[in-house]
Every structure is written in structure tokens, then in C-alpha cells.
A and B are shown apart, each in its own frame.
Chain A
Amino acid sequence: MITKDYIIRAPEGIHARPAAALVKLTRQFKAVIHLQKGEKRVTLNSLLNLLSVGAKGGDTITLFIEGEDESGAAETLDRFFNELKE
């Protein structure tokens, strides 16, 4: 399992458009991916779940990636969060 923390740099946080893009990205992988902010932890296959986390700019979130293609998934998600600036 790969675990990694990210600080959301986009001021608006993970709003609907990036959230939809993120869920779409994770669907390419077999790995099960969870996202956690504070106490709240959700599976990244559901846009509704992801939105309900309400990740804002400046928040720290943690990704938990587990599955045969986890390293590929981690790399792709790493790129996503580094490019998430708006």
C-alpha cells in the first residue's frame, strides 16, 4: 500500500470539475484508492463521496493506494495533485 499526504494548493479546493477529473483518473486503475481529510475517509470511485469531503485550499489530505497497479496509480495521482492549482 502506498500512502501519501498532499496540501491542496488550489484556492477553491477540490471542487466539482477537478473532482470529476480525479474520479475519472482513478477509474483507470485496479488499485483501491481512499482519500482522507481529518476523520473523514472516502473511496475515490464516487464523485459524491469525494465532494462530501469538502477539501478546501490549504487542507491536507492523505491518499491510500492499494492494488497490483498501485505504483502507476500513485504516479498519476501525484501528477494530478501537483498540477491542481486552480
Chain B
Amino acid sequence: MNMMNIVNQLQGMGVSPGIAIGRACVIRQQEAGMTGVALTDDDAVGREIARFHDSVRRSIRELRALMAGTEATVAEILEVQVELLQDPMWEGEVLSKIGADRKNAGDAVLEVTQALIETFGSMEDEYLRARAADIEDIGKRVMRHLRGEDAGASDTRSGSAVRGHDRDGAMQAGALRAGVFGECRILLPMIGNVQELRQAKALITEAKEELTRQQLPYDADIRTGIMIEVPSAAIMADQLAKETDFFSIGTNDLCQYTLAVDRMNEKINALYDPFHPAVLRLIRNVIEQGYLHQLPVEMCGELAGDPQATLLLLGMGLRDFSMNAPSIPVVKNIILQASMAVARAVYAKEMSNIV
């Protein structure tokens, strides 16, 4: 028998359907949270340096306030962090990344702290190794201020805060201005309640006012929608619907947060199941509320491109499916072959599980 010679077999999670043959290539991931956005001019460098200094000052003030209310032993630990925040070596390295390497303040802080954590973390001395944790702490604290977050905001939401709570409104202003050249919409991620939605909308209004002041053209009627990816948002869809222009269901995160399953963790990712009745109920609620409030509802998670879900979702009332290019022909074929009657029948059959 002619055996194939398998030199090395790698296993992993599929991220798109199909088979591909090619040369293997390792993709080194950027540090978590890095944006890779480079600074284009000296003004931007000055702004980022000011933002960095401001965040350090706020961090120190925050630590001092914490110290005032704690016992001496804890205060001493915080004092170490205050001292680290004022360290000329770390400051110098961050400034050089901003000034010479043209990195934005957030990326510069992440890079410098990561390098220091590695240096300290690999030291022989156990005590010095433990300092890596202090460095990590100050890095996180400064990052939180750079992102304009309030103290105590959870790490899970920090990604959204960059987008949703961006203080200088650059992102919102960008979308508003792009609207002049063609239809453009704003999609707010990680909204979990009506208050967050209102805050985000207030920032957009601010950005509009700023653009008016600067006499720059922008799309005043830009549509603003919500990414439904947090279970609380799916449950509260009726309330959110009153204050938004459209819904986009992000099934990947919605499923992950509903089932408390991290799909990147291979030990438990078998429990990740977008067909779980709890997830389907949430999706159905969002679609129903969309109909009731005459809002467009679209889906942009992997479920939207899953041929096994097409008829069910169609029967549920979903009309906008967003997916990776390789999935389009398969899903399109299913939709073209089927009738709404068939889709509704599939949905009715599934209903017995999800009522």
C-alpha cells in the first residue's frame, strides 16, 4: 500500500468553509489591543504625546486617591506603581516610539510595557519576576485613561470603549465625513443598554457639531445602528429599537456570551453552539422587535453564512445575511431553491424547541 508521508500534521479551528492548498505561513499576531495606526504628521505626534502625559497624570492622581483610603502596606505597593509611572526610562521609551517611530500613544504604551514585562518576567530572581505584574498594572491603568474609560470598566468591554467612547470623536467624524462620498452607516458595537446607546449617540452629535464649526461637509442624516452581540442587548431589543436606525446581530459574540463559552479555548469550544435554543430565542426576539418597530435587521456572524441555518433564519424573518465570500454561492443557492413556505415550515418545526 502506498502510504502518504505525513511529515507534520497540524490541527486547528476552521474559520471559513472549504479546502485550500498552498504554502503554510505563520501569521504573528499583533499585541492584543494594538491598532497599528501610524501618525501622519508632527501635529499628531504632539497630540499623542500630550495624551500620553495626560493619561499618566490621571493614573497617578487615581493611585494617590486610592492610597489615601488604604492601609500602609497596600499604600506602599501603590507607591511603587506611582514611582514606575514617573520612571524616566519608561517615559523616554514611550516618547521615542511616538516621536521617532510614529506610533500612536496606545500602541507605544503597549509595546513598551510588554517589552518590560518580558524583561522582568524572564529574570532569574523570583522577586524581580514578580515586578512584571506591577508593570502590567500600570500599563493597563494608563491604557484605560488613553482610551478615555472610567475606572473600573471591565477588560472585556475595553475594545468597545475605544470605538464607542472615543473621546476626540475622530472615528465618528470620519464616518460622518465619508458619508459625503456615498452611503455610509455607523454601527455601534458592544452596546449593552440604552444608556450606552445614548452616550454613543451624544458623541456622534458632538462630532457633528464639531464638523459644523469647522465648516466641513458631512452626512447629517447618517444612520446609526446597534450591533446586537451582548445578551442584554438582545433581551432589551424592544427598548433599544426605539432609539436606533437598524440592528445587526453579531452571532459569534452573542453565542459566546449567552453560553459562557470562549470559542478560542479548545477545551470547551465544543460547547459553542449557535443552534442552542437560548441563542435562537435571542435572535428571534431581535428579529421580531425589528419588525414591530420597522427597523432593518441584518446578521453578520458566522451563523449567517452557515448553510444549515439559512432556511431557519429565513423562516424567522431575517432578510439581510452578511458572510464571507466563499459562503455566498452555497447560501444563495439554498435561498434560490427554497420557497418561503419551506423556510417557514423549517422554522415552525424548530419552534417546538425554542418556544
Contacts and interface: CB of A to CB of B under 8 A. Distances in A.
Interface string A46-60: 111101101010000
Interface string A27-63: 0000000000000000001111101101010000000
Nearest to A56: B125
Nearest to A54: B125
B interface, by DSSP: helix, strand, loop or mixed? Answer: helix
A17 B88 CA distance: 18
Given A46-B89, A49-B89, A20 B125 contact: no
Interface string B113-130: 000100110010101100
B77 A12 contact: no
A17 B79 contact: yes
Contacts of A17: 76-77, 79-80
B57 interface: no
Interface in B47-84: 76-77, 79-80, 82-84
Given A16-B134, A17-B76, A17-B77, A47 B83 contact: yes
A77 interface: no
Of B80, B125, B128, most A-chain CB atoms within 10 Å = B80
A52 B131 CA distance: 10
Contacts of A48: 84, 87, 89-90, 116
Nearest to A12: B127
Interface in B125-150: 125, 127-128, 131, 134
A23 interface: yes
B85 to A, nearest CB: 10
Nearest to A17: B76
A85 interface: no
A54 B84 CA distance: 16
A4 interface: no
A46 B131 contact: no
Given A16-B134, A51-B128, A46 B88 contact: yes
Nearest to A49: B89
Contact of B84 (A12, A13, A47, A52): A47
B128 A54 contact: yes
Contacts of A46: 87-89
